[in-house]
Structures are given as structure tokens and as C-alpha cells.
Amino acid sequence: SDTVRINPSILAADFVNMQADLARITTADFVHVDVMDNHFVPNLTFGPQMVERIQATSPVPLDVHLMISDPEQWAPQYAEIGAASVTFHLEAATDPISLARRLREIGARAGVAVKPATPIDGLLDVLDEFDQILVMTVEPGFGGQSFLADQMPKLAHLRAEARRRGSQVWLQVDGGIGESTIAQAAEAGADTFVAGSAVFGADDPGRAIAALRSEATR
């Protein structure tokens, strides 16, 4: 795909000024919403009640990233809230394909995420069961970490397979994406880019989004 999507992560936003921060990223394609349960990852953010308020407030559709255990129990309600996409972790799911089908039935795009140490081989034959595959370029749990360039072969492999099979699946990267790393990820085959600190750490988030977009399409 030639389309590039920039999804700012509100993990780097001001949690008590969320409405104002959402208003600063209206040129984004999606708002990336990191849900953490202090069990799948050693950090805690918020749950469905907060995400429902973000959904009601955001001018941009939501891209929910669930870093939680037992996604079978929790993921569907994020789709029901109206999130445009709901991504759960492959490592946490008992039956990823059934869960993806349930999310699609509710009306969300279904995403599956892999941590840096998780292979993607099992996904290659079932690419079209998902609308997006998220290759983590940091260990999930915290913003502001360094981009793991060693994940690029995984992306390239997914891109080659998607091309070979004529799949429309979106390939997303998350973690350490900024002006100096986004081109590598785009080159490897990503088309959807999550950026937290690079957007909300900038004086002008709108300009940061534009800069990332142009670096990714270079």
C-alpha cells in the first residue's frame, strides 16, 4: 500500500488534559490508545470507561492497542464502544483467529500484535484473518524507549508475504518511532506508524505529524 498512516499514542499525552491534547492531533489518521493491565505488561493505564470517553471526545477514530491478558474476555467491549480498530497480543490470546472474527463481527478492524521476541511465522498463512498486524519495535509497556531495528526483517517478511498473497493487511509499527527511525520502518514495509513521544513531546504536534508523514513517504 502507498498510503501512510500516522497514529499518535496518547500514552505520551497529558492524562488530565486529554480533550485538549486530542484537539492537537486532528491531522492524525487514528489515535493510538494503549490499554495496559499491569499483568501482561508491568504498567497500568486505563480501561473501557476511559476509552469510551476518549471515543466520545476524539475527532479522530481510535486505534486501541490492548496490552492485556485474557483478551478474549476484554477485547470485544472495546469494539462495542466504537473503536475503529482493536489490536490484541498474539502471546495473550488462546484462539487469535476466533477473537479476530468476533471483533470484525462487531464492526471493528481486527489487529494482532507481536512482542519483539515473538515469531510471525504462524501468521503468514492467515494474514487475511486480520486487518492489521502490529510489530512491536520496543518491549511493550512504556513510551520513550529506543527503536529496535532488529525487528525490520520481521516486517520485511510480512510485507513480502502480503504482496505475494495479494493481502490488504496493514502493517503497523509501535515503539521508538520518530523522525530518525520512521524511514527504516517504512522501507522495511510498514504502512501504519504509532508515535508517542515524537508527537506529544514536540512543541507543535501537528508539525510533528506532518514531518513523520513526509519521512515515511520519502
Which of 155, 177, 188, 202 contacts ligand DX5 by CB under 6 A? 177
Which of 21, 174, 191, 215 contacts ligand DX5 by CB under 6 A? 174
Q: Round to whole Å and give the CA distance between 24 and 19.
A: 9
Window 135 to 154, contacts with ligand DX5 (CB under 6 A): 138, 140-145
- Kindly name the residue from 21, 29, 34, 131 that is annotated as catalytic: 34
Does the annotation mark 63 as catalytic? no
Question: Does 5 participate in binding Zn ion (rule CB under 5 A)?
Answer: no
Site string for Zn ion, 47-86 (x = CB under 5 A): ------------------x---------------------
In angstroms, give the least distance from the CB of 66 to Zn ion. 9
3-state secondary structure labels for all residues of 115-181: CCCCCCHHHHHHHHHCCEEEEECCCCCCCCCCCCHHHHHHHHHHHHHHHHHCCCCEEEEECCCCCCC
Q: Round to whole Å and give the CA distance between 194 and 201.
A: 14
> Sign of dihedral through CA atoms 12, 106, 90, 112?
negative
Q: Residue numbers of the site for ligand DX5 (CB under 6 A)?
A: 9, 11-12, 32, 34, 65, 138, 140-145, 174-177, 194-198
Q: Residue numbers of the site for Zn ion (CB under 5 A)?
A: 34, 65, 174
Give the active site residues.
Answer: 34, 174
